[in-house]
Amino acid sequence: MALRIYDTARRDVVDFVPLVEGRVGIYVCGLTVQSEPHVGHIRSGVNFDVLRRWLEATGHEVTFIRNTTDIDDKILTKAAEQGRPWFNLAYDMHRELTRAYAALNVAPPTYEPAATGHIPEMVELIELLIERGHAYAAPDGSGDVYFDVQSFADYGALTHQKTADMEPATDADPRGKRDPRDFALWKGRKESEPETASWPSPWGRGRPGWHIECSAMAGKYLGEAFDIHGGGVDLRFPHHENEQAQSRAAGHGFATYWMHNAWITTAGEKMSKSLGNSLVVPSVLERVRPIELRFYMVAAHYRSNVEFSFEALDEAAVGFQRIEGFLERAGMPAASDELRAAFVDAMDDDLGTPAAVAAIYDAVRDGNKLLGDGDTAGAAGVAADVRAMLDVLGLDPLDPAWGTSASGATDKLTAAVDALVAGLLEQRTAARAAKDFAAADAIRDRIKAAGITVEDTPQGAKWSID
């Protein structure tokens, strides 16, 4: 079947039909670079990386734009608290974010525009909205410019809300607003803000509102209409609602489909920066390898909340090690050119990664049986299928992006465990030869207690992690 995705605007899983056959334009809202990224921040990057990889695997040419917001109230506040220039904070945190994406094998986007690099495009779009009667400059001389929500009949269409039921917009001081729900397109400079955090405009020096940034950048790199707009579920309102309203009010088609990933939660709440440093990406990667953290994220459906725990992360790591163990025993053959039908069906069903991972586990189970039966050629064929499926998910252990953190470290660990298990098996064989079955059983139980299964085959004893 063709790819079907859940469209937030339609509230349903629908057929994905690109505007231009064989080509897909995707815009994903990146992060506001105000602090070190934690695992909750990175989930969106991983989820939409899987979408991109699947589209490319099925023959599409993908233009993938993911922005960064590098000017924002929070950036200014945190920089002031730390006694450093706001642009230095934004730059440092952007570098941390780039390292985190790279560590988890999130492919670089086609382009990663920064808000501060696109002020002229934003001013031009604001001027168009004023010209079309959908925006106005505040009459109080503040330099603020607001979007007039009452002027756009479809405001609220994305999230299925009525304007009368909405709370006032809190993204700017309400001074000069015609309606408390009007949102800021341009913010006049305040005396308390650094001069460097403002740019000239027809309304005086200031800086862009958050929402106008993405409309301007998406339009510049993907055109007035494109296929998919993505981001975290918390961005649906007001950010994405406002993006859609201002873009369509300007006469642009904007996004055809809207996709949103769910949260990684702690104690049922959205992961927040108040948790401290324990869940920032470098700290988590002291406990598990990057490929294992990615596997943990990919194994859950992108629209399902993930309740984070280190126990669950450790279990995912062990699960991935089982897959790697099979590949290593099968000789790490080259990936096959075809994908298994169960995997394809899962991915075409709204990126059903849980079922896709289940298809990989099924293949590993089949491959282990073939190894046990001595059919090394058959097992190698299965391993080639497994590598092909893992590659789509960005999880191929031999992908150069992982460096030695995946295959190299695993090879060393496997060799060490293999030597230890081999020594115990020699002791077990000697005990059985001496008819000391109690000692032989004790050695078997020690191996089993370590989570290792030993299988006697015509080619000798083989072991695997449970």
Q: Which tens digit of pLDDT belongs to each residue from 25-50? A: 999 999 999 999 999 999 999 999 99
Q: Which amino acid is at 433?
A: A
Model pLDDT for residues 301-310, shown as the tens digit of each residue: 999 999 999 9
273 is in an annotated binding site: yes
Phi, psi of 203 (to 5 degrees): -110, 10
SS percent in the chain: helix, strand, coil, step 5:
50, 15, 35
How far out from the chain centre does Cα 17 lie?
23
Instruction: Report DSSP state, residue 205.
Output: S
Radius of gyration of the chain (CA): 27
Half-sphere exposure of residue 165, counting CA atoms within 13 Å on the CB side?
7
Residue 464 has pLDDT above 90, yes or no: no
450: pLDDT confidence band, cut at 50, 70 and 90?
confident
Helices (H) and strands (E) in the chain, counts: 14, 15
Q: Do 309 and 363 form a contact (C-beta atoms < 8 A)?
A: no
The reported pTM is 0.85
Residue 406 has pLDDT above 80, yes or no: no
- C-alpha to C-alpha distance for 230 and 459, rounded to whole angstroms: 52
Indicate the average pLDDT of the chain.
92
Residue 350 has pLDDT above 90, yes or no: yes
% of the chain beyond a pLDDT of 70: 92
Residue 273 has pLDDT above 60, yes or no: no
Q: What is the pLDDT of residue 409?
A: 46
Model pLDDT for residues 88-102, shown as the tens digit of each residue: 999 999 999 999 999
Q: Which neighbouring-strand residues pair with 438?
A: none
Model pLDDT for residues 197-244, shown as the tens digit of each residue: 999 999 999 999 999 999 999 999 999 999 999 999 999 999 999 999
% of the chain beyond a pLDDT of 90: 81
Model pLDDT for residues 158-212, shown as the tens digit of each residue: 999 999 999 999 888 788 899 999 999 999 999 999 999 999 999 999 999 999 9
Instruction: Report DSSP state, residue 349.
Output: B
Residue 363 has pLDDT above 70, yes or no: yes
Residue 272 has pLDDT above 80, yes or no: no
State how far the alpha carbon of 400 is from the alpha carbons of 103, 249, 386, 403, 464, in Å.
12, 45, 17, 5, 25
239 is in an annotated binding site: yes
Instruction: Report DSSP state, residue 223.
Output: -
- C-alpha to C-alpha distance for 402 and 51, rounded to whole angstroms: 20
162 is in an annotated binding site: no
